[in-house]
Structure 1
Amino acid sequence: MIAEFDIDTQAMQSAFRHAPQIDASIIQQTACESGRLDVVVNVSRAAFDDFERGLDADGTIEDWVRFSDSDDCRRYRLTLTEQGRELVTYPCWSESGAVFLDGNRRRDSWRFRIQFPDEDSLQRYVAYCEDRTIDFSPIRLSRTDSSNATERFGLTPVQAQTLVTASERGFFSIPRECTLEELADEWDISHQALSERLRRGMSSLIESTLR
């Protein structure tokens, strides 16, 4: 099942309060055997200098690295302190085998979408948040079935594989990590044909999920 919910955690909160108009999305969360936990975020529409001063002052962030330096969007890797690790829910959902789909900053909280393997793992996640006084506000819960994704969403197998490949190569990332021409070369088709295939695939996804 896929749960969409708002979650309010003190982790990284001071940094984001330094730039209140910020748009941010979580790209990746990585834990190491040493206990280190890194969170990679994309940040846009921000006073980047204010945000970086907030990173320096945030007690839940041990270290940070800026990966990109454009005027519109920047990518950061944030290494959490022990305190910060206690305030995030990564240990719970990752241990249950859940899949983190996306996380976007909304005002003073995050909106997450996580796919849980079953209802019990979702309930454990909710209990985990309650135990740590992390505010959890459910938005939407949808159940998935065992049918093939191409059947559920009206995609052809080629459209599904193309969308997956484009996502893996960073075509939908901000900033974009792969061009349409590079993807077309990989599929050995023209960039116009690839563009049409992507548009048809995304149109099918929208029709089956949002309408």
Structure 2
Amino acid sequence: MVVIVHFLVDAGDFVLGRVTQGGPEMHVELERVVPTTGRAMPFFWAFGTEFEAFERSVRRSDGVEELRALAHVDGRALYRVRWMETTPSLTAAIAARDATVLEAAGGRTWSFRVRFPDHHGLAAFHEDCRARGVDLRVERVATLDAECASEYGFDLTPKQSEALSLAVESGYFEVPRQVTLSEVADRLGISQQAASERVRRAADAVLRRALLSRVGNDR
């Protein structure tokens, strides 16, 4: 039975996390959906302001063969990275179990959402990570049916639902805004970056399900 796992991992425990930590602090997200066959993690977005310094830092990393900026849009940049053939990768372990990275993003700590064909593949992946010294903190494991049915079909984690609900109730989306993102983060007891990630991911999931599914049904 197909299972989906949500887990956290420190940036220093996998290649993309390490190479993006050497320069100015940026928030990084893998391009959805990320292929895990061939060269792992070829595309990612970076959010911040110091892009030139960030690019220099990534290009100096031993595991990076090439980094290309493909586009700059509204305070973020899309990159294509080519890794050295010998560079070990967390997603290589994922690919070895025929799994797929659905979402991954972070800064000092990364959040992954990965789909495995069955529980056996997930268990084997977990053992692979232990052997590599990668410390996974599993937040949630669910079957595909349960995942799709969760949170009224909006596919939200409990933490995303909490953050988005608080943001809406507090007036974060009103014009003008009634609270800042920093205030939302304080009420949740998390960092502003973590609050931003949860609110944006939750809003994206809700809007995609509400709008894109409607477009599909209207055709």
TM-score (norm: length of structure 1): 0.62
- Alpha-carbon shift at residue 128 of structure 1 (Å): 0.9
> Is contact 1:60–1:80 with CA below 8 Å preserved after alignment?
yes
Q: Deviations over 1:177-210 (max 9, x none)?
A: xxxxxxxxxxxxxxxxxxxxx959438x9xxxxx
Counterpart for residue 81 of structure 1: 84
Cα gap change, 1:100 to 1:19, in 2 (>3 Å): same
Q: Secondary structure at the match of 1:53?
A: helix
Counterpart for residue 56 of structure 2: 53
- Alpha-carbon shift at residue 41 of structure 1 (Å): 0.2
Cα gap change, 1:129 to 1:145, in 2 (>3 Å): same
Q: Secondary structure at the match of 1:92?
A: helix
Cα gap change, 1:131 to 1:201, in 2 (>3 Å): closer
Counterpart for residue 26 of structure 1: 30
The within-5 A match list for 1:127-166 is: 127-145=127-145
The one-letter amino acid of 1:98's match is A
In 1, Cα distance between equivalents of 2:100 and 2:51: 30
- Alpha-carbon shift at residue 55 of structure 1 (Å): 1.2
Q: Deviations over 1:106-144 (max 9, x none)?
A: x32321000112111111111111111112111112223
Q: In angstroms, what is the RMSD of aligned CA positions?
A: 3.1
Is 1:15 aligned to residue 20 of structure 2?
yes
Unaligned runs of 5+ in 1: 156-197, 206-211
The one-letter amino acid of 1:5's match is F
- Give the counterpart of 1:202 among 205, 210, 217: 210
> Is contact 2:6–2:138 with CA below 8 Å preserved after alignment?
yes
Counterpart for residue 92 of structure 1: 93
- Alpha-carbon shift at residue 80 of structure 1 (Å): 1.0
> Is contact 1:25–1:43 with CA below 8 Å preserved after alignment?
yes
The one-letter amino acid of 2:130's match is E
In 1, Cα distance between equivalents of 2:84 and 2:64: 5
- Alpha-carbon shift at residue 43 of structure 1 (Å): 0.9
The one-letter amino acid of 1:103's match is A
- Alpha-carbon shift at residue 64 of structure 1 (Å): 1.0
Runs of 4+ in structure 1 off by over 4 angstroms are 152-155
Unaligned runs of 5+ in 2: 155-205, 214-219
> Is contact 2:35–2:100 with CA below 8 Å preserved after alignment?
no
Counterpart for residue 105 of structure 2: 104
Q: Secondary structure at the match of 1:59?
A: coil
